Amino acid sequence: MRFDIITLFPDFFISPLNSSLLGKAIAKEIATVNLVNPRDFTVDKHRKVDDITYGGGVGMLLKPEPIFAAVESLPVLPQREIILMTPQGESLNQSLLKDLASNYQQLVLICGHYEGVDERIRQHLVTKEVSLGDFVLTCGEIPALTLVNGVTRLLPGTVGKVASLKTESFETDLLDYPQYTRPAEYRGWQVPEVLRSGNHQLIDQWRREQQIERTRDRRPDLWQKWQENK
C-alpha cells in the first residue's frame, strides 16, 4: 500500500511513522508513506498556499494551484483514491478501513487547514471525503495519521496474530469483551472465575454475553444494528 500525504507540516508525521507496529510495517515495506508539502509547488517568493475567500468571510482557504500541482506530481497506481480529510466527509469506521485496505493500492490524503479548501479541489480532484466524526480539529494531519494507522494494521504482515483482528470491536457490530491478565487478584479485585476455569466453551459463552451486554449499554446504535443483522 502506498500512502501519499499532502501536508503543510510533514514533521508532524515523523515520529508516529517510525513508532510501534506502524513503523515496523513501513520498515518491512508493507506500506510506504510519501510526504508532500504543497509549498514546494508554489510559484511566488512567499510560497503562499492560502488566500481570502470570495464573498467575504472569516479565515483563509487553501488555494487550488499548489494542491492540484502536488497531487499531479505523484505517480498513479491502478487502484487509487484521493481523499480529503474534512469534517464534512463520511465518518471513518472499521468498514471503511477494511474497504481501503482491501481494494486500493494507493491512497492520496489531503490534509485540510484554516477554513478549508477551495471548492474546486473538492469537485475536480478529490474522489472521497473522510471525517473522524462530528467535531472540528486544528488540522487534517490528525485524521490522516489515524487513517494510515487503521489501514496499515489491516494489511497482511502488520499484525502478527491475524486471528486477533477478527475478535476486535466493530468486526461483528459488537464491542470487544473484557480482558484480564495476571495477577488473578489486585487490590481485592478478582479476575472472573470463568476465565480461570480452563473450560473454553464456557469462556466463549461468557465473552459473547459480555460483548452483547457491553454493546447494548454503551452503544445502543451498534446493538440495534447487530440485532437486525444477526
**Other CB atoms within 10 Å distance of the CB of residue 144:** 26
pLDDT, residue 172, reads 79
pTM: 0.89
> DSSP letter string over 115-143?
T-B-HHHHHHT-SEEEESSSS--S-SHHH
pLDDT, residue 169, reads 58
Write down the residue that cell numbers 494531519 correspond to. 141
The DSSP bridge partners found for residue 27 are none
Cell of 187: 487490590
> Does position 167 have pLDDT exceeding 60, yes or no?
no
168-229 is classed CATH 1.25.40.10: no
> Does position 173 have pLDDT exceeding 90, yes or no?
no
pLDDT, residue 228, reads 92
High-pLDDT (> 90) share of the chain, %? 87
> Does position 170 have pLDDT exceeding 80, yes or no?
no
What are the structural domain ranges in the chain? 2-152, 168-229
**Given its phi and psi angles, is residue 63 left (phi above 0), alpha (psi -120 to 50 degrees) or beta?**
beta
pLDDT, residue 118, reads 95
Residue 18's contacts (CB-CB under 8 Å, 6 or more residues apart) are 26
pLDDT, residue 179, reads 95
Task: Determine the 3-state secondary structure of 19 from DSSP.
Answer: coil
Beta-strand (E) ranges in the chain?
Answer: 2-6, 32-36, 50-52, 60-62, 80-91, 106-111, 128-131, 185-186, 189-190
> Does position 163 have pLDDT exceeding 60, yes or no?
no
Q: 44-58 as b/e, with b when 16 or more CB fall inside 10 Å?
A: eeeeebbeeeeeeee
**Other CB atoms within 10 Å distance of the CB of residue 212:** 17
Residue 113 sits at the vertex; the CA angle it makes with 120 and 74, to the nearest 5 degrees, is 60
Query: pLDDT tens-digit profile of 39-59?
Result: 999 999 999 999 999 998 888
Query: pLDDT tens-digit profile of 113-146?
Result: 888 999 999 999 999 999 999 999 999 999 999 9
Quick check: 8 and 111 in contact, CB under 8 A? yes
pLDDT, residue 114, reads 82
Q: Give the residue, 225 or 68, on which the prediction is more confident.
A: 68
What CA–CA distance (Å, rounded) separates 19 from 24?
7
Task: Determine the 3-state secondary structure of 152 from DSSP.
Answer: helix
Cell of 122: 473538492
Residues 73-92, mean pLDDT to the nearest whole number:
96
User: What number does CATH give the domain 2-152?
Assistant: 3.40.1280.10
pLDDT, residue 165, reads 58
